[in-house]
Amino acid sequence: MRARLDDEIVLTTHGRASGFCIDPIEKKPLFHFHPGTPVLSFGTAGCNLTCRFCQNWSISKSREYDTLTDRATPRDIARRAHDLGCTSVAFTYNDPVIFHEFAIDVAVACHGEGIKAVAVTSGYVMPEPRAEFYSHMDAANIDLKGFTEEFYRKVCGGHLEPILETLEYVRTETDVWLEVTTLLIPGLNDSPDEVHQLTSWFAEHLGPDVPLHFSSFHPDFKMLNVPSTPPGTLTMARQIALNNGIRYVYTGNVHDPAGQTTYCHRCGYVLIERDWYQLGRWGIDVAGRCGECGTLCAGVFDPGGPGTWGARRRPLDFTSRE
């Protein structure tokens, strides 16, 4: 939320949040960035898109005074994340573009404590603030909500091209670890032809090593009359993406261990076994290579192996010192 004071735009939500929670990093979803570790997640209120299917609509569509009940300074957040053993802090629930200055201040404070900064975002942002924002981020999951201008205009209230520009910018102009999510909505963006076009562009412009997550839609907000995504649609989309040369393709919002496990793209060896957010078998050596054939797995991995946070979700109250 912003207000104009003496011809200056002021972020009135700085230091305020709609809630804090420690999540598994896999929930963002980030599968190749410090797997198994806890991330302190928070958001504010509002969004710069108007997606009719928004699954966080109670936050993204709320007004400041309805939602922003928690207060914490950037230094408070960074210290709490450090004290609780979090590897990273995530700006999520609503788009961090809305609280650009607050997110950057938190990222700076976190880096001072050795904590990483993670953005979960639509990627809908102008070039100048984009460059400033991503200069402070360590990882991002960016939504590619569909692959037609009509979908973005009618369903999301935005445009496709700025998203594609952000994806290419983050991939080619920054050191930010990038993963991408596409929510497949029956009848709107899930046709084999559109999935083929999306994944072909993805492989050509982002390369084979950026992980892609296909998530299942469930009826919400203004799309209660649309059915959930059939499991077969996710399987189809994943196979198309693999056929088009993307090495790491995952399914989400469904129980599908096979579709959520990381395999070596060369020999098929299980590198990171997953069941929802719970990790199982670990097949990556200390150098980030396949334990069977030695092929490098793209990602940011800890030499000591995965974290042990598991699937836990722990809400935080910043008014107490729990």
Give residue 141's domain range: 2-260
Judge whether 40 lies within some domain: yes
C-alpha to C-alpha distances, 291 to 30, 163, 246, 267, 304, nearest whole angstrom: 21, 36, 21, 10, 14
**CATH number, domain containing residue 133:** 3.20.20.70
Query: Per residue in 123-144, is it b (16+ CB within 10 Å) or e — as a string?
Result: bbbeeeebeebbebbbbbbbbb
pLDDT for res 122: 96
Judge whether 290 lies within some domain: no
Tokens 């590897």 belong to 87
Judge whether 96 lies within some domain: yes
**pLDDT tens, the chain, 322 aa long:** 444 444 555 555 666 666 789 999 999 999 999 999 999 999 887 889 988 888 765 555 555 444 445 678 999 999 999 999 999 999 998 999 999 999 999 999 999 999 999 999 999 999 999 999 999 999 999 999 999 999 999 999 999 999 999 999 999 999 999 999 999 999 999 999 999 999 999 999 999 999 999 999 998 877 899 999 999 999 999 999 999 999 999 999 999 999 999 999 999 999 999 999 999 999 999 999 999 999 999 999 999 999 999 999 999 987 655 5
Number of domains in the chain: 1
Closest CA to 216 of 180, 248, 177, 255: 255
pTM of the model as a whole: 0.93
Judge whether 313 lies within some domain: no
Judge whether 241 lies within some domain: yes
Judge whether 54 lies within some domain: yes
Q: What is the C-alpha separation between 22 and 315, in angstroms, rounded?
A: 6
Q: What is the DSSP letter of 154?
A: I
Judge whether 319 lies within some domain: no
Query: How wide is the angle at C-alpha 306 spanned by C-alphas 122 and 214, nearest 5°?
Result: 30
**Nearest-10 crossing angle of helices 127-134, 161-173:** 40
Judge whether 315 lies within some domain: no
